C-alpha cells in the first residue's frame, strides 16, 4: 500500500527545496503519493484565509504533510501559517534535532553536537491574546496550562526513553514568572518522576542560552515552552551551521507536518542557490514517522555522504554548488 502525503511547496525558495526533497524521497524507492496543495502569500491575500479549506481537507485525509516555507508578514498582515496549522491541527510538539554534519566548519570543530529540542507548540505568548489598553499601551497574555505542559513533557521523556537518550533539561524562567513558568516546571518535574532512568535537570533560559554557546555538547534533550523553544532552537541551529541544515517536525495526536524551519528567502528564489538539506532531513523524519526506517537511514546517510565529501555543497555552507547539483549528488549517493 502506498503512503499518501500532502505536499505544501510554499513560496520563495519553497518550491525549489520541496522538489529536491521529493526527488530524494522517491529515490529511496518508497511508494508515496504526493497530494500537492499550493499555499503562498498571494493565495492567502487573495482568498483572505491563512489556511484554505482544500489544504485542511488534504491534511485531514492524509494526516501527514511535508511543508516548505511560507512568507509571513512582519508587524502586520495575516497570521503565521505555521502558527495557524499548529493550532488548527493541534500539532502540540515542535521537534527539532540539531546535529553536527560532517564537513561543516563551525566554531566547534572538535565537538560533536547532538541534541533534540522539544518545544510546546500551542500556547504561551503565541496564543496571540493581545490588547491595546489605551493608545501605545499594549498587553499580551502568556498562557500556560497543565494539559499542554504535561503533554509536551511526556512526549519528550517518551522520546528520550525510546531513543536511548540520557538526559532531559527543562528550560524556564520560573524565578521571575513564578506562576506561568512555575506551572510548566512543576509539570516537568512530575513527569520526570515517571522516568527514573532519564536524568532530569533544570536551567533558567538565559543561563541555558549561555551554556549552549559555551558547551553545546553537554545538551541532550531540551524541553521548553513555546517562546523559549522558538528562540533556543534557532540559536542551537546556529551552532551547527544555520537553519539551512536543521529539520523540524510538528507532531500531534492525529496529524504530523514536517517542515524546514528556515524562511522563504525571496531574495534568492529562482536562482538555484537554495539549500534543500533542511527539508530533506525533515523528510527523513517523515519517513521514520511512516515506518520506513530503512529508507530514512538511506536518505540520512546520503545527505551526510555529500557533506562529508564536500564537493557539492551550496553557498550558505561554504560551497558553490547549485540546488540542482547538490540534489543530484544526494541522488547519486542514494543509488550508490
Residues annotated as catalytic are 126, 173, 206, 230
HEC string of 235-298? HHHHHHCCHHHCEEEEECCCCEEEEECCCCCHHHCCCCCCCCHHHHHHHHHHHHHCCCHHHHHH
What is the rounded CA–CA span in Å between residue 39 and residue 204? Answer: 38
> Do 130 and 265 meet the contact criterion of CB atoms below 8 Å apart?
no
d(C-alpha 67, C-alpha 84), whole Å: 14
Question: If phi over 0 gives left and psi between -120 and 50 gives alpha, with beta otherwise, what is residue 63?
Answer: left
Scored b (16 or more CB within 10 A) or e, 99-134 reads: bbbebbebeeeeeebebbbbbbbbbbbbbeeeeeee
Q: In terms of Cα–Cα distance, which of 297, 294, 262 is closest to 279? A: 262
- The Cα–Cα gap between 326 and 108 comes to 24
The CA-atom distances, in angstroms, between 104 and each of 155, 234, 241, 308, 318 are 31, 17, 7, 8, 8
Question: How far are the Cα atoms of 45, 49, 140 from residue 128, in angstroms, in the given order?
Answer: 20, 17, 7
How is residue 179 annotated by DSSP? T
Amino acid at each position: 500500500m502506498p503512503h499518501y502525503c500532502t505536499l505544501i511547496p510554499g513560496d520563495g525558495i519553497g518550491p525549489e527545496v520541496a522538489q529536491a526533497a521529493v526527488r530524494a524521497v522517491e529515490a529511496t524507492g518508497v511508494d508515496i503519493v504526493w497530494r500537492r496543495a499550493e499555499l503562498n502569500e498571494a493565495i492567502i491575500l487573495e482568498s483572505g484565509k491563512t489556511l484554505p479549506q482544500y489544504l485542511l481537507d488534504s491534511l485531514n485525509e492524509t494526516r501527514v504533510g511535508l511543508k516548505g516555507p511560507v512568507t509571513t508578514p512582519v508587524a502586520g498582515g495575516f497570521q503565521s501559517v505555521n502558527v495557524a496549522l499548529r493550532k488548527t491541527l493541534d500539532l502540540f510538539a515542535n521537534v527539532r534535532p540539531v546535529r553536527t554534519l560532517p564537513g561543516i566548519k563551525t566554531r566547534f570543530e572538535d565537538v560533536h553536537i547532538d541534541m533534540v529540542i522539544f518545544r510546546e507548540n500551542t500556547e504561551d505568548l503565541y496564543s496571540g491574546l493581545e490588547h491595546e489598553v489605551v493608545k501605545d499601551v499594549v498587553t499580551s497574555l502568556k498562557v500556560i496550562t497543565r494539559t499542554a505542559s504535561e503533554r509536551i513533557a511526556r512526549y519528550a521523556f517518551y522520546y528520550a526513553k525510546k531513543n536511548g537518550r540520557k538526559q532531559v533539561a527543562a528550560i524556564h524562567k520560573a524565578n521571575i514568572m513564578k506562576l506561568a513558568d512555575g506551572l510548566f516546571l512543576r509539570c516537568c518535574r512530575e513527569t520526570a518522576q515517571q522516568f527514573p532512568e532519564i536524568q532530569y535537570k533544570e536551567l533558567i533560559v538565559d543561563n541555558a542560552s549561555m551554556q549552549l554557546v559555551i558547551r553545546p555538547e553537554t545538551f541532550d534533550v531540551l524541553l521548553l515552552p513555546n517562546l523559549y523553544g522558538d528562540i533556543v532552537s534557532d540559536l542551537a541551529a546556529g551552532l551547527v551551521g544555520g537553519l539551512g541544515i536543521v529539520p523540524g517536525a510538528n507532531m500531534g495526536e492525529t496529524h504530523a507536518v514536517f517542515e524546514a524551519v528556515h524562511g522563504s528567502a525571496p531574495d534568492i528564489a529562482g536562482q538555484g542557490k537554495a539549500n534543500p538539506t533542511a527539508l530533506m532531513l525533515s523528510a527523513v523524519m517523515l519517513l521514520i514517522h511512516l515506518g520506513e526506517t530503512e529508507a530514512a537511514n538511506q536518505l540520512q546517510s546520503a545527505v551526510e555522504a555529500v557533506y562529508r565529501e564536500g564537493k557539492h555543497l551550496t553557498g550558505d555552507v561554504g560551497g558553490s554548488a547549485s540546488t540542482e547539483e547538490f540534489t543530484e549528488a544526494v541522488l547519486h549517493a542514494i543509488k550508490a
